[in-house]
Amino acid sequence: MKMNENNTVEKDELTGDKLLAGHDYDNIRELDNNLPKWWVWLFIITVVWGVAYVIVYDVLKAAPYQQEEWKNEMAAAGTVTPGQPAAVTDTTLLALTDQASLDAGKDIWLKQCKVCHLEGGQGLVGPNLTDDFSIHGCKYYNVVNIIVVGAPEKGMISWKAQLTDDQIKKVSSYVMTLKGTTPPNPKAPQGDPCK
Ligand code: HEC
């Protein structure tokens, strides 16, 4: 604390409050008041909170981070594509394999899907469905799901209104048979590799 020549604490002339020593900028001085109690408590609480937060989230890992929480909730809701509602959450759903269903699926494919994915599924407007990559998931239930919900912002409608559940299952089963085939001029892979 700065003392003046008389060895007393310097005080503000107007209020009589203590002045902070050593801070003198062109005669502009700072007061040396105590911080308000509420402020000090708020500060202590934030420090305690911060320490508790680090212990809970980083040391004990007792609670998930926001991002994990979001992922967990999405998984719980059965969402296949982030931000898109899932219609099909049954991961055990199996593709139809009988010839009649696959033939019916192929009919639907040629009428409704070929225009964007091409006859062999090699892709045009829509992605290549024969390679080992996928935007919306490689499993049968992923295929059913994307056909039900569509990807309207990317150019594929939801087929729920045009096709019955049965037709969707059949065309999805047919799509599964396209995987691994090698039609000419395939579109470059899009999305993630299938595991
Ligand atoms: C108007 C064009 C168009 C038509 C018609 C169309 N699709 Fe698509 N399809 C797309 C586009 C574009 C995408 C890519 C969506 C994206 O990028 O998210 C897509 C994606 C898909 C996917 C997911 C591919 C992946 O990589 O995850 C499947 C499966 C699919 N379509 C099947 C079908 C079936 C079955 C039909 C017929 C019932 C059909 N599509 C009709 C344009 C179309």
Q: Is 151 in the pocket of ligand 1 (CB under 6 A)?
A: yes
Q: Which two tokens stand for residue 8?
A: 């007393």
Residue 185 has pLDDT above 90, yes or no: yes
Burial of 71 (0-12, 13-18, 19+ CB in 10 A): middle
pLDDT in tens, 39-75: 999 999 999 999 999 999 999 999 989 988 888 776 6
Q: What is the mean pLDDT of residues 94-100?
A: 95
Q: Which two tokens stand for residue 55?
A: 């212990």
Q: Is 143 left (phi over 0), alpha (psi -120 to 50) or beta?
A: alpha
Which pLDDT does position 79 carry in this prediction?
46
Nearby residues of 150 by Cβ (< 8 Å), 6 or more positions away: 156, 157, 158, 159, 160
Residue 81 has pLDDT above 80, yes or no: no
Q: How confident is the model at residue 91 (pLDDT cuts 50, 70, 90)?
A: confident
Q: Is 169 in the pocket of ligand 1 (CB under 6 A)?
A: no
Residue 191 has pLDDT above 60, yes or no: yes
